[in-house]
Amino acid sequence: MATLYVRDMPDDLYARLRDEARGSRRSIGAAAVEILQAELRERSELTVGEVLKRARKVRARAVRPAAVSVADEIRADRER
């Protein structure tokens, strides 16, 4: 079986993993393996439609700069 070492793990993420392991009475390593297996299994079972649906949700949450027309900028500059 392979061994995985993780460097520079954020403290808050490690604390969440530790709490998850304690709550299920497992080692941190066993909890990490179970979480990774579940996540990778879920990703492999996604259909194209589900991937697109998730991508739309991510895009909807993205902050986009407001579109400003050149004419609006010129008009605003003239009013100053």
Q: Is residue 5 one of the residues assigned to a domain? A: no
Which structural domain range is residue 72 located in? Answer: 11-79
Decide if pLDDT at 27 tops 90.
Answer: yes
Q: Is the pLDDT of residue 57 over 90?
A: no
Assess if residue 2 is contained within a domain: no
| DSSP structural state of residue 25 | T
> How far is it, in rounded angstroms, from Cα 67 to Cα 12?
37
Q: Which residues contact 58 (CB under 8 A, 6 or more apart)?
A: none
- Distance, in Å, from the CA atom of 8 to the CA atom of 16, rounded to the nearest integer, reads 15
What's the pTM?
0.52
How much is the average pLDDT of 15-43? Answer: 90
Q: Does 21 map to a domain?
A: yes
Domain assignment present for residue 4? The answer is: no
Task: Report the domain count for the chain.
Answer: 1
Q: CA separation (Å) from 17 to 1, 36, 78?
A: 22, 12, 57
Share of the chain above pLDDT 90, in %: 39
Is residue 3 situated within a structural domain? no
Question: Do the domain assignments include residue 20?
Answer: yes
Mean pLDDT of 71-77: 84
Whether residue 35 is contained in a domain is answered as: yes
Residue 1, domain member (yes or no): no
